[in-house]
Amino acid sequence: MKAHINGTVIAEADEADLISIEGNWYFPPSAITPGFLSESPTAYTCPWKGACQYWTVTVNGQAYPDRAFSYPNLVPGAVERVGKDFAGYVAFWKDVEVTP
């Protein structure tokens, strides 16, 4: 699976290495191409996953704020609910496409 924006791949991994949660594909940290993500100050806390870390995706000088997100410190019960530890995995949305 590939996460890409305007033809630039920003993450890539086998589907077996990804985790699907609520319609989003979460990529393991090792699948993220270095240099495209920078931390965003946007704050959000999911009641069952915990505090969210948003990321700005920057490709060819164009910044796409909050187009990636992860949960670095999961709340108790989150792993059990999903069936796998997804702490630090990164999901994408809006302008970022995820395709096989």
What pLDDT, on a 0 to 100 scale, did the predictor assign at position 24? 96
For Cα atoms 73, 31, 99, give the angle at the middle one, nearest 5 degrees: 110
Look up the CATH number of the domain holding residue 71.
2.170.150.40
Dump pLDDT digits (tens) for 57-97.
999 999 999 999 999 999 999 999 999 999 999 999 999 99
Share of the chain above pLDDT 70, in %: 100
Residues 6+ apart with CB under 8 A from 94: 64, 67
pLDDT of residue 69: 98
Q: Which residue has the tokens 């792993």?
A: 79
- For 49, the domain range is 2-99
Q: How many domains does the chain have?
A: 1
List the one residue out of 24, 100, 34 whose CA is nearest residue 69: 24
* pTM for the structure as a whole: 0.95
